[in-house]
Structure 1
Amino acid sequence: MMDLLARQTRSDIEDFLYREADLLDTWDLVTWRQLFTAECLYVVPNLALPSDAPVESTLHLVVDDGHHLTERVKRLGKKTAHAEYPRSRGRRLISNVMIVERGDQYLRAQCNFVTYRTSQQTTDTYFGQHQYRFVVDGGVMKIQEKRTILDIGSLRPQGRLSIIV
């Protein structure tokens, strides 16, 4: 199993991240959720705090464990998700993919991103860095943790973060 992570090249990670972006752009959130382990963590830190601030003791914009991420996917798929009905349209651009650390049972990677989101005749731009921790789960490489560091000064003029960045 660990050999799977040891064999991963930057190009392999890049392909994985392109697929993740495509699943989000095409609103295939159920398949996107399957890229994560059951006990994953998805974090978007508060813009005013350090990006590595602990989730246990600081306020974050998003802190979803596996259960909450599954519930978020279900909620965004319903018509009752008013902020996303009708669904926003988005494009995610990924660049500067790097493998930053290899452990015995994990691999860390990061990339820069720009997400364009159009909803109700308004286009918002989010940009920053994604940081990933990959593990092997059931013989497949999956995301154990994803941390999205937004480099925007504030959520204004966007004002909300109803999408999965």
Structure 2
Amino acid sequence: MTAATPNAATVTRSEVEDFLFLESSLLDEWRLEEWVELFTLDCTYEAPATDAPASDPGQTWSLIHDRRTMLEQRVIRLKKPEAHAEFPHSQTSRIVGNVRILDRGPDAVSVSASFLVSRMKAGKFDQYAGHYYYDLVQGEDGFKIRRKKAVLAHDRLAPQGKISFVL
């Protein structure tokens, strides 16, 4: 770590918010290749089932449970015209707030935030609300996501339907 790179123990909430806002912008602008680069090579990205948000994704069914390779494959699939659920792709608008630093380590910070994702597609408007949980590591070029968990605050997906876009 260089002198210009802050230690995770000294990271401010404002710095974390700026990073989360960047991530949201990349997703809303459908810049998915750049979004994937925000993740570490050993990352985990998950969205647990709505009826068991605290369950172990290795033991139960999840909406999403991806490592980096699967995340990259998801992005490739979503950008293809054959991905009928997302071609043309959804228009989304994310609001991220209530950002809190939960824990600090020497090279990582655990963070929570609330989210509201509004999705417009084929004349239909859906909203998804919930909470994000991140483990962010500090690198020389800023934060990287080691773990992201998107917990929906819905008891079921209907009438919202498919989660073909990325939370």
C-alpha separation in 1, matches of 2:44 and 2:89: 24
Which aligned pairs between 1:5-16 and structure 2 lie closer than 5 A?
A: 5-16=8-19
**Cα distance, 1:158 vs. partner?**
1.6
Q: Specify the code of the residue in structure 2 equivalent to 1:40.
A: C
**Match of residue 143 from structure 1:** 145
**Match of residue 108 from structure 2:** 106
* SS in structure 1 of the partner of residue 7 of structure 2: helix
1:30 aligns with 2:33: yes
Q: Specify the code of the residue in structure 2 equivalent to 1:19.
A: L
Q: Is the 8 A contact 1:93 1:114 kept in 2?
A: yes
Question: Structure 1: any 5+ residue segments left out of the alignment?
Answer: none
C-alpha separation in 1, matches of 2:122 and 2:6: 47
**Cα distance, 1:68 vs. partner?**
0.2
Question: Structure 2: any 5+ residue segments left out of the alignment?
Answer: none
**Cα distance, 1:52 vs. partner?**
2.6
Which aligned pairs between 1:1-165 and structure 2 lie closer than 5 A?
A: 1=1, 3-49=6-52, 51-137=53-139, 140-165=142-167
TM-score by length of 2: 0.93
Q: Which runs of 4+ in 1 moved over 4 A?
A: none
* SS in structure 1 of the partner of residue 16 of structure 2: helix
C-alpha separation in 2, matches of 1:138 and 1:58: 36
C-alpha separation in 2, matches of 1:45 and 1:103: 25
TM-score by length of 1: 0.94
C-alpha distance after superposition, 1:66-116 (max 9, x if no partner): 100010011111111110001110000011001000123311001000000
CA RMSD of aligned residues (A): 1.4
